[in-house]
Amino acid sequence: MVAALLVAAVLTAPARAAAAGPGTPDRAGIGARICPTQPSPSPVATSTGWAQGRYDLPDLGRISRGDGVTVAVLDSGVDPAHPQLAAAVRGGGDMLEASGRGLDDCAGHGTAVASIIAARPTAGSGLLGVAPAATILSIRVGDRIETDNGLVGSGDIAELVAGIHAAVAARPKPAVLNLSISTTTDSPALRAAIRDALDAEIVVVAAVGNDFQRGNPTPFPAAYDGVVGVGAIDGTGARYAQSQVGPYVDLVAPGDRVLAAARGSGHVLVSGTSFAVPFVAATAALIRARWPSLSRAEVVRRLIATADPPSGGQPSPEYGYGVVNPLRALTEVVPASTPTVLERRTPVVPPAARQPAPGTAPSARVLATSGALLFAALLVIALALAAPAGRRRHWRPGRLQDD
């Protein structure tokens, strides 16, 4: 059985030619060879989306912007041709294309994820990354997308494992590993690769998946000890309906109609737990920039201790320890009793329960996790007509799925 990496998306526009790093041309024309078509222009969002607006990022940046911290994004690649990513991304390897450097993105998934973490401010753009001074190390591990005609693209657990090893070996070593993907296969090789990353003092953040309504299978690597499993909430603070629930949910973050960069230029709105993960990964980057001497366990402790707690007790199978809060993570004193090692525990609330996050109404529960975000072209159209908050394409975010 081959576990196929699903970076599912209903978008087929490819990435443009890439650049090796800040302003450095790299492999001109390769993007056109790897990807079947060039990306269509997307509208530019001039206002801030609800998700980023929740955190007042300009004020947050007065405390920490993620300077000097590298976040490895293992995904469908990142397109550094986007104006807000050109100075933010360096190639870390391409597990699908031997000659690649991780700077091609045929699906758009990795580009969106990277922009939530580290999009640079640009005049006229409403998008700003949570850690806008951090560096993205892009490692391409899969670009499989879900279409009406089935799965298109490639990527499996072997590529993901190779990508994790590449991240651990990279110099400078990334401080955070963003995995907006999941698999239902508990692979020994994947488990060992994650352990190597944890032993290297890298904070590993992974999506819990978007399959709640399809059996709610156990997601890996989110379910491994030590990995910060992330679910998604919508604009009301309620769980995204597709976001999976269980003892592997440690934190939640915005994951519905989140403003993000499109391939090439412009913006889209994206949904899924895939896009909740970068909010947590970026917060970890902010912490590591502010306190470089903190250990991985201490960073995780701070993430958990400063989350806005869910009603009904912690940890909740739907919300974990609560909604990530970057400002609290950078300013509060952390209790010594807060967990430092994420051991998979028994939830205090049955999975059947539907609890809203603190101070919210139990309305639409929107959570699109690991790679099942639906990047719909119609969302892009809607963005042009209505929301300068950029429209998302429907994705099934980077899920590793048995074939």
Per-position DSSP letters for 318-345, written without gaps between them: TTBT-B--HHHHHHSPPPTTS-SS----
Per the annotation, the verdict on 186 as an active-site residue is no
Neighbours of 125 (CB within 10 A): 22
Per the annotation, the verdict on 363 as an active-site residue is no
Q: Which amino acid is at 98?
A: A
Per the annotation, the verdict on 109 as an active-site residue is yes
Tokens of 30: 């390769």
Whether 43 and 61 have beta carbons less than 8 Å apart is answered as: no
Compute φ and ψ for 308, nearest 5 degrees: -75, 115
Catalytic residue among 75, 104, 105, 143: 75
Catalytic residue among 109, 165, 267, 394: 109
Compute φ and ψ for 200, nearest 5 degrees: -85, 10
Q: Is the dihedral of CA 283, 287, 289, 292 positive or negative?
A: negative
Q: Which position has the token pair 């400063």?
A: 306
Q: Which helix (H) or strand (E) holds 166?
A: helix 157-169
Tokens of 251: 């934190």
Neighbours of 335 (CB within 10 A): 8
Catalytic residue among 138, 187, 243, 274: 274
Catalytic sites, residue numbers: 75, 109, 274
